[in-house]
């Protein structure tokens, strides 16, 4: 092979490909149903087909790609029903995380959650959607961690990554930013009170609203975003 990377034998070539391809799927660069040719991918990443196959296997296990025996792999295409079921699951998972967080977060965790949440208020005032999206992700990640349950954390993160392509544009709806912040506020105050039930309910409602907001974009057959192919 020509042009071997200087990082020969880095030991994580496959992992890099999983992330690279996964990101492209999750961010909508690759559209559902798109064909993933092993040979082309091998050429594109300048490796042989073997690591490509391994990467595709991982992505398949993650549910991001679909593999038909002897018929190649395509970007996983999710039906409306399955998408709805994932959003519903997400709401339940977040509810659990919020409930556990209310019951188990250390005082340090509660403090930093509150501080970051208050900081994000500035993003809302400025209407900085990109920045708020970052804070938003961070916020939810704190809830997952605060549950102090590694397995629920994994399940939640996994589900979130599968939903990522359908959530990207939610903040483009007018007024969504401010409402999102208010919903976070409800969750935070419930957690600060140690009120697990209220935190759970607030989190579930929050995700349900995101679900409805995202349904608009899901309706037209996935993400229209497509700036680059591979």
Q: Which residues bind a second copy (CB under 8 A)?
A: 11-12, 50, 53-54, 57-58, 61-62, 69-70, 81-82, 85-86, 88-89, 92, 96, 149-152, 155, 159
Alpha carbon dihedral 211, 88, 113, 168, in 10-degree steps, equals: -30
Q: Considering beta carbons, is residue 35 or 111 the nearer one to DNA?
A: 35
Longest dimension (CA), the chain: 61
Residue 21 binding target from DNA, a second copy, none, CB below 5 to 8 Å by type:
none
227, containing H or E segment: none
What is the pattern of x (binds DNA, CB under 7 A) and - over residues 64-103? Answer: ---x-xxxxx------------------------------
For the chain, the distance separating the N- and C-terminal CA atoms, rounded to the nearest angstrom, is 20
Task: Tell whether residue 227 is a contact of DNA (CB under 7 A).
Answer: no
Q: What is the strand order of the sheet 35-36 is part of?
A: 35-36, 72-75, 65-68
What phi and psi values does residue 211 have, to the nearest 5 degrees?
-55, -50
Q: Considering beta carbons, is residue 44 or 201 the nearer one to DNA?
A: 44
Residue 67 binding target from a second copy, DNA, none, CB below 5 to 8 Å by type:
DNA
What is the pattern of x (binds DNA, CB under 7 A) and - over residues 22-51? Answer: ---------------xxx-------xxxxx
Task: Tell whether residue 8 is a contact of DNA (CB under 7 A).
Answer: yes
Task: Tell whether residue 9 is a contact of DNA (CB under 7 A).
Answer: yes
DSSP state of 4: -
Residue among 204, 205, 210 at smallest CA distance from 94: 204
d(CA 167, CA 225): 12
Reduced to 3 states, what is the DSSP secondary structure of residue 152? helix
Interface ranges with DNA (CB under 7 A): 1, 8-9, 11-14, 37-39, 47-51, 53-54, 67, 69-73
């Amino acid at each position: 092979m020509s042009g071997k990377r200087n990082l020969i034998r880095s030991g994580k070539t496959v992992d890099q490909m999983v992330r690279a391809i996964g990101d492209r799927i999750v961010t909508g660069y690759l559209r559902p149903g798109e064909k993933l040719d092993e040979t082309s991918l091998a050429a594109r990443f300048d490796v042989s087909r073997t690591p490509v196959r391994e990467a595709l296997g991982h992505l398949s296990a993650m549910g991001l790609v679909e593999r038909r025996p002897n018929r190649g792999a395509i970007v996983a295409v999710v039906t409306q029903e399955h998408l709805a079921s994932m959003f519903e699951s997400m709401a339940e998972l977040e509810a659990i995380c919020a409930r556990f967080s209310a019951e188990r977060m250390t005082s340090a965790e509660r403090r930093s959650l509150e501080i970051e949440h208050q900081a994000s208020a500035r993003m809302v005032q400025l209407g900085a959607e990109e920045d708020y999206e970052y804070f938003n992700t961070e916020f939810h990640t704190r809830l997952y961690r605060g549950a102090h349950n590694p397995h629920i954390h994994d399940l939640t993160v996994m589900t979130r990554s599968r939903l990522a392509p359908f959530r990207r544009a939610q903040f483009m709806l007018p007024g969504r930013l401010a409402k999102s912040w208010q919903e976070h506020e409800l969750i935070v105050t419930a957690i600060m009170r140690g009120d697990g039930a209220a935190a759970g309910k607030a989190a579930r409602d929050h995700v349900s609203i995101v679900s409805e907001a995202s349904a608009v974009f899901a309706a037209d057959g996935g993400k229209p975003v497509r700036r680059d192919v591979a």
